[in-house]
Amino acid sequence: MAGKLNFSLVSPEREVFSGQVDQVDAPGVEGDFGVLPEHAPFMTALREGPVTVYDAKGVRRFEVKGGFADVNASGLTILAEEAAEIAAG
């Protein structure tokens, strides 16, 4: 695998998460999708559901309620209508 994926999860109130990760899985309107480093560019609308972030520290999950995901050469940005981290446990 080549490098890390720059990932940012943003809600209208604040930046919920930002960092370099190994993989992100998200709930697209046409089905769930995963993004790895150097993924082909695309943009899609999101439905309500979990965004799962994988990195060397483990797995973190965030609940999103709508929005958009943009994958480009810089990484993945999710602009969510609402987003909050799901407590582990």
CATH code of the domain covering residue 59: 2.60.15.10
Alpha-carbon distance of 58 to 68, in angstroms, equals 25
Q: Encode pLDDT of 9-41 as tens digits.
A: 999 999 999 999 999 999 999 999 999 999 999
- The model's pTM is 0.93
Query: What integer is the mean pLDDT of 46-56?
Result: 96
Q: Encode pLDDT of 53-84 as tens digits.
A: 999 889 999 999 999 999 999 999 999 999 99
Q: In the structure, what pLDDT confidence band is assigned to residue 89 with cuts at 50, 70 and 90? A: low
Q: Tell me how many degrees the CA angle 19-23-8 measures, rounded to the nearest 5.
A: 35
Scanning the structure block, which residue is given the tokens 């446990």? 89
Number of domains in the chain: 1
Range of the domain at 58: 5-85
